[in-house]
Structure 1
Amino acid sequence: MLEIVFLGGGGGRWESITQVKGTGGFRIHSEDMNMHVDPGTGALVRMNQLEINPWKTDAIITTHCHPDHYTDAECLVEAMTKGMTKKQGILIGNNSVLNGNSKFEKGISTYHQSRVGERHILSPDDELNVKKWKLTATKTKHNDPETIGFKVETDDGVIGYTSDSEYIDSLIEDFDSVDFLIANVIRVKGQKVPGHMCSNDIIEIVNSMNKTPKMLTMYHMGMKMTDPDSEARYISKNIDIPVIPAKIGLKITMENKNCKFDYIKY
């Protein structure tokens, strides 16, 4: 059994500033692995609210070099390495976060990167074994051109995460047959915006798959997504699977490829 715990459901600069929906990323917890995905602004505060121990972090993955995806990563590295006293843990990122590029300075310092046990830079289609999990980086189209999503295969099912991307055909193939899909949907139906998806985009992607997910979570919702529950119902009606909008404390439990959801009270 594994659990996916959301430290918010918001995305974009306005949500990072206001923290209305929370931008702390999400955690994947299993018996022998605790991974933090995209620890953006407020990740440590939300973990404290939900009574999640940051010291129990085995891996961190940052998909691109935007603040709502990496700003708390250095603090998580410090927790993962027991206050930088032990060289341990796994740090995974795209090139811009870990090296920087012509558009972005690196998001995690050389010093912090030097203290982890393993450091991996992934590009689309790269594969990586993370203990018992197999992680495959996926393609995107976003403002950071080196952004990655990923698919992770576990004993309890396959999890897909689109990260930030506008609609591209490869999203259909990359996430076909995953058991649980986390889709970054920043805008409501009919409000397309460069580099991101709106509700219509994820509907088209899921309906084009040969085998659809068992459950989908809307994540990285922007300030203009004022009624996520209503938008989730609209998407669910059009793809015929449960759609759950991410909120602080949303917990997805996966076991034997089946998904159910609950909320951590705080």
Structure 2
Amino acid sequence: MGKKKFGIMGNGYLAGIIVDGYLSGILDEYELVGVMGRTPDKTAAIAGRGGCKACGTVEELLALKPDVVAEAASVQCIRDNAEKILSSGVDLIVLSIGAFADKALYDKIKETATEHDTKVHIASGAVGGFDVLRTVSLMGQAKSGICTRKGPASLKNTPLYDDALMTEEGEKQVFKGNAKEAISILPTKVNVAVAASLATTGPEDTSVDIFSVPGMIGDDHKITAEIDGVKAVVDIYSSTSAIAGWSVVAVLRNLVSPIVF
């Protein structure tokens, strides 16, 4: 049996992490056939590192006959290309989970995958523990929530930011609501909230609390799913987005492993 072919959508830092994983030898069952990006120079550079073809469109990437495409680009990339990929008989790994905050898009992608016998694999990104959170939620009427702590600078250019946050002496709560409300306020910064809600009780029933912490670097996400007699807590801190890229590598490994974690 030959190697499985895969392609990458994206030519930035996270796409580079996936290429690094490929070059490290831990994806020996795969052949990287193409990288797709909107910026020709950047795309050519990362494709050159990976020893594959640089593509400017999803049609070029699909012409290389990949078995799976890993997205490390943006929510808009999912909106523009997910249906084309799935309807071509190709599986898709999604890192920009925030795209699924759009229920109509989510339902359409699910329908397309069902129709063409393809699958969408959700990468854990900067969080994880989806298996135990989902298990608890299946056991009964669960309560779920996510509490995020981050530095005030990371809130700039969002409705939650205020200059006063930069001089606060203690942590301050800047948002309290559910995942659906968080999505409406922070449409490009809610991958974690969307992922947690999809794995548990849904956007309307997953509570979200966000705190600004002076001097904090990185993000700390504490996700909880609870029923009577069972409580699961996943708490992950990261000062780098590299973990998101490596989570795609982990999905690729699981797809070909005889033992799946």
TM-score (norm 2): 0.38
TM-score (norm 1): 0.37
Larger Rg computed on CA atoms: 2
Higher helix share: 2
Higher relative contact order (CA 8 A, sep 6+): 2
